[in-house]
Amino acid sequence: MAPGPLSSSAGRYADRVETTKVAVIGAAGRMGAEVCRAVTAADDLELVGSYDQGDELGDLGGADVVVEFSVPAASPGNVAHCIEQGVHVVVGTTGWDDARLSALEEPLAAHPEVGVLIAPNFAIGAILMMRFAQQAARFYESVEVIELHHPAKVDAPSGTAARTARLIAAARSDAGLGDVPDATTQDPDGARGGRVDGIPVHSVRLRGLVAHQEVLLGGEGELLTLRHDSFDRSSFMPGVLEGVRHVGDHPGLTVGLEHYLGLSSEHDG
């Protein structure tokens, strides 16, 4: 089968002579282990280091690029270490609020050649879903985001849901839309869920799930549902490898893989 534009297949790179050296932080985790397998299977990439909690990161095994999938509390320190070592880094860990992003400015100013890609979701369908939700937002009075994940996930809402809600909120604001209509005055048990930038977000944790999200957009007499499902963590690998192969071409901080895919928009943060 011919590899797609985001294929993790190594075939299309078979004529390349040099390999990119890759290290993985969070290598013992669900995503880190999957990334180690994907890197090992790619002819143009070489796995030179794998690190988890308690390991000394040091020179990162001489890596050209680090892939970081750990926990929100540890990720900023790990990423800063990579930058200080002059190593590009592709980050999938969630929890990157404005304060954490700002803290990268200083190390990046000292190493302006280093590329940092932070992506809340590497699955192409999830990236498209966020873009479609952003495009649709101005046409609908109501919108709610429902994210559904495996019960081992520690953070809620998901990074993807938070980013989706922020993109929707910005698009609604630009279009002059006010608050979503909601007559609720009593909700002692929090049944209406949380809010991100005023957009209702609901988090489901269920055995058997991997990573799923719906965006419900309601207008007079109609409903538009945008849904994406990651049934397996392999769905994230083409995007991760795309990031690994191109992060060196994008010095400085980039938030969202869409910027590497020609899907940027003026509202992206």
Ligand X SMILES: NC(=O)C1=CN([C@@H]2O[C@H](COP(=O)(O)OP(=O)(O)OC[C@H]3O[C@@H](n4cnc5c(N)ncnc54)[C@H](O)[C@@H]3O)[C@@H](O)[C@H]2O)C=CC1
Ligand Y SMILES: O=C(O)C1=N[C@H](C(=O)O)C[C@H](O)C1
Nearer to ligand X, 76 or 200 (CB): 76
Q: What is the DSSP pairing of strand 199-205 with strand 142-149? A: parallel
246 is in an annotated binding site: no
Catalytic residues: 149, 153
Helical residues (DSSP H) of the chain, grouped into ranges: 30-41, 75-84, 98-102, 105-110, 124-136, 159-174, 237-246
Strand order in the sheet with 194-196: 194-196, 199-205, 142-149, 211-219, 222-230
Q: Is 88 annotated as a binding residue?
A: no
Taking alpha carbons only, the member of 144, 121, 130, 89 closest to residue 233 is 121
The stretch near ligand X (CB under 6 A) out of 20-28, 42-50, 133-141, 184-192 is 20-28
What's the chain's length in residues? 269
Nearer to ligand X, 58 or 198 (CB): 58
Interacting residues with ligand X between 130 and 169 (CB under 6 A): 155, 159
- From the list ligand Y, ligand X, none, pick the one residue 134 interacts with, judged by a Cβ distance below 5 to 8 Å according to partner type: none
- Convert residues 81-100 into a mask of x (bound to ligand X by CB under 6 A) and - (unbound): -----------xxx------
- Examine residue 256 and tell whether it contacts ligand X (CB under 6 A): no
CB of 29 to ligand X, least distance (A): 2
Is 122 annotated in some ligand binding site?
yes
Q: Reply yes or no: is the peptide bond before residue 157 cis, omega within 30 of 0.
A: yes
Phi-psi region of 221 (alpha: psi -120 to 50; beta: other; left: phi over 0): left
* Paired tokens of 63: 């890596």
Instruction: List residues near ligand X by CB under 6 A.
Output: 25-26, 28-32, 51-53, 69-72, 74, 78, 92-94, 119-122, 155, 159, 236
Binding-site residue ranges for (S)-2,3,4,5-tetrahydrodipicolinate: 150, 159-160
